Amino acid sequence: MSDEIRIGIIICDRYRGCAGGKCLRALNNREGAFSIYNDKEVKLVGYTACGGCPGGNIEYAPEEMKKNGVDVIHLATGLIVGYPPCPRITQFRDVIKTKYGLDVVIGTHPIPQNYYDTHTALGTWKSSKWKEIIQPTLADENIRLLYD
């Protein structure tokens, strides 16, 4: 792997108006799912929404990102923390990997504490599948509070 990683971010369409502040802060600070790039230069080469349920843009956006040199696509934390979390997130990951041959990371910025508290109370992430999905963005409470 080279010392430069080119990433794309796909967000949940519910947050299509999001300016990306938490994702970009986490990228710059190498927090959440971006902590894997501690020793790499990272360039953001694409940022878009999934297209709304059932994720129609997942078929097309990765192709454009790949043409722009993306190495890894991050499925944004909003897909994990929304109410309800995206039920297709692992399908999105699998389609992007299979169709485009790209690496996919589920998550961007750390889970905000307020979402963590709500999903804990709801029992949303009790399954082993969800425990695995949230792991890269879980962080500790002090970091989660910074992303509220």
Q: What is the pLDDT of residues 22-68, one digit of tens each?
A: 999 999 999 999 999 988 899 999 999 999 999 999 999 999 999 99
- Rounded to whole angstroms, the Cα distance separating 11 from 107 reads 10
pLDDT of residue 91 exceeding 70, the answer is: yes
Residue 2: the pLDDT is 58
Which amino acid does the sequence have at 129?
A: K
Average per-residue pLDDT for the chain: 95
- Percent of the chain past pLDDT 90, that is, above it, reads 93
3-state class of 105 per DSSP?
Answer: strand
In sequence order, what are the residues at sequence separation of 6 or more whose Cβ sits closer than 8 angstroms to the Cβ of residue 49? Answer: 10, 11, 12, 13, 15, 16, 57
Residue 112 preceded by cis peptide, ω within 30: no
- Domains in the chain and their CATH numbers? 4-146 (3.40.50)
Write down the pTM of the prediction. 0.94
Give residue-wise pLDDT tens across range 121-145: 999 999 999 999 999 999 999 999 9
pLDDT of residue 81 exceeding 90, the answer is: yes
CA distance to 47, 48, 63, 77, 113, per residue, from 29 (Å): 18, 21, 28, 16, 18
Give residue-wise pLDDT tens across range 4-14: 999 999 999 99
Residue 67: the pLDDT is 96
